[in-house]
Amino acid sequence: MGKQRVLSGVQPTGNYHLGNYLGAIRNWVEGQSEYDNYLFVADLHAITLPHDPKQLANNTYTLVGLYLACGLDLNHSTIFVQSHVSAHSELTWLFNCITPLNWLEDMIQFKEKAVKQGENVNVGLLDYPVLMAADILLYQADKVPVGEDQKQHLELTRDIAARLNHQFGKPDQPVLKLPDPLIRKEGARVMSLADGTRKMSKSDPSELSRINLLDSPDQIQYKIKRCKTDPIRGLTFDDPERPECNNLLALYMLLSGKPKQAVAAECQDMGWGQFKPLLTETTIHALKPIQEKYQEVMEDKGYLESVLRDGREKAQAIANQTLTQVKAALGFSIL
Ligand code: AQP
C-alpha cells in the first residue's frame, strides 16, 4: 500500500508568524516522510477578505520561500499555488450546487469574520468552506491537519463528500474519499503576545501581537520585551489565571525543543526579567536557519518558479482526474 495523502495550506496574506510555523508548517515538515504531501498556497482563499492586488503575488512567493526554508522537501512534498490549478474553482461550483445554504450559514468562522467585516461581506466569505472542501476532495486526501478552528470545516467537507457519494455515486463505488483529521500535537496553538486568550494572527492590526518568521533579532527582542505578562514571580504552565505565562512558556518549550517537564523545572523560580532574555535568545536562534535559507531561496526566482511549475503539474494530474470523475457522476458529457 502507498503512503497516505495529506493536504494542507496557508493563505498568502503576509505577516507569517510563529503560530503558522509551530501550528502548521513545522508539523508538516516533521511528518513529511510518512505521507505523500500536497501543500499549497491558498491564494483563492486570501481574496475572501479585502486584499491588495499589489501584494498578492509577492505574498505568494514569500510563502513558498518560507515553505522551503522551513524544511519542506520536494522528495516528499508537492508545493503548488491553488489558483494555478483551475479545478479548485470548478469543483467549488459543482459543490455549490449540492450544498444546502444553511450548512454554510451555520459555520462559526463565517459568523465571526462576517461580524468583523460589517457591511462588507462578500459571497466568497460564505462560500469559503466549499472551496476548502474542493481543495481537500480534489486530491482524495486521506488526512487533513486541523486545529480546533478548522474542525467544523472538515466536518462540512465530509458531509459534502458523503452527500455527493449518496446522490450520485454507487454504494460500492464512492466518487470521493472521506478524509480524516490529522490531530495536531498538544501545545501547538500559539496565542497573541498582547493577549494570551486570543490566537496569534496575521490579521491582528498590532505588530506587537505576533513574532513574524522574518523578524530581525532587534524586532524579536523589542516584541518580547513589550509582550504582556503578569506581576507573579515563578512561571508555570496551565494556570487558567495566567494565559500569557502559559503561552510564553509553551513558546520557549516549542522553540527550544526541550520537554515540558524540563521547561517547568527550569522556569519555576524565574521572574520575567530572567525569562524574557532567554525566550528572546531561543527565538532568534530557532529562526536564524530559516531566515538564512529563506534569503538563499529567494535569490533564485527561477528556482522558485520551477518548483511551482512542477508542483502545478503534479497537482493538476490528480485534481483533473477527480474533477472528471465528479463531472461524469453528475452527468456532464465528457470528451
Ligand atoms: N496562532 C496560531 N497557532 C497555531 N496555529 C495557527 N495557525 C494560524 N494561526 C495559528 C495555523 O496556520 C495555518 C495557516 O492558517 P491560514 O493562513 O489559513 O489562516 P488562519 O488560520 O486564519 O491564520 P491567521 O494567521 O490567524 O490568519 P488571519 O489573521 O488572516 O485569519 C493553519 O493551519 C492554522 O491553523
Q: What is the pLDDT of residues 4-30, one digit of tens each?
A: 999 999 999 999 999 999 999 999 999
Active site residue 113: yes
Indicate if ligand 1 lies below 6 Å from the C-beta of 283. Answer: no
Give 115-134 pLDDT, tens digit per residue. 887 777 889 999 999 999 99
pLDDT band at 49 (very low <50, low <70, confident <90, very high): confident
Active site residue 143: no
For residue 7, the cross-strand partners are 38
Indicate if ligand 1 lies below 6 Å from the C-beta of 23. Answer: yes
- DSSP class of 203: T
Residue 87, pLDDT above cutoff 90: yes
Rounded distance between C-alpha atoms, residue 25 and residue 145, angstroms:
10
End-to-end CA distance of the chain, in Å? 32
Give 135-150 pLDDT, tens digit per residue. 999 999 999 998 777 8
CA distances in angstroms from 181 to 40, 164, 260, listed in the order given: 17, 20, 25
Instruction: Give me the percent of the chain exceeding a pLDDT of 90.
Output: 86
Residue 187, pLDDT above cutoff 60: no
Residue owning the nearest CA to atom 9 of ligand 1? 19
Rounded distance between C-alpha atoms, residue 299 and residue 93, angstroms:
38
| Torsions phi, psi for 19 (to 5 deg) | -65, -45
**Residue pointed to by grid coordinates 508542483:** 311
Quick one: cell of 45?
A: 482563499
Q: What is the pTM of this model?
A: 0.94
**188 burial level (CB within 10 Å; 0-12, 13-18, 19+):** middle
> Which of 201, 211, 212 for a ligand 1 pocket mutation test, highest count of atoms within 8 Å of Cβ?
201
| DSSP 3-state of 333 | coil
- Positive or negative, the Cα torsion across 86, 89, 91, 94? negative
- Positive or negative, the Cα torsion across 323, 329, 333, 335? positive
Residue owning the nearest CA to atom 24 of ligand 1? 201
Q: Please tell me the distance between residue 136's alpha carbon and the centre of ligand 1 in angstroms.
A: 17
Active site residue 202: yes
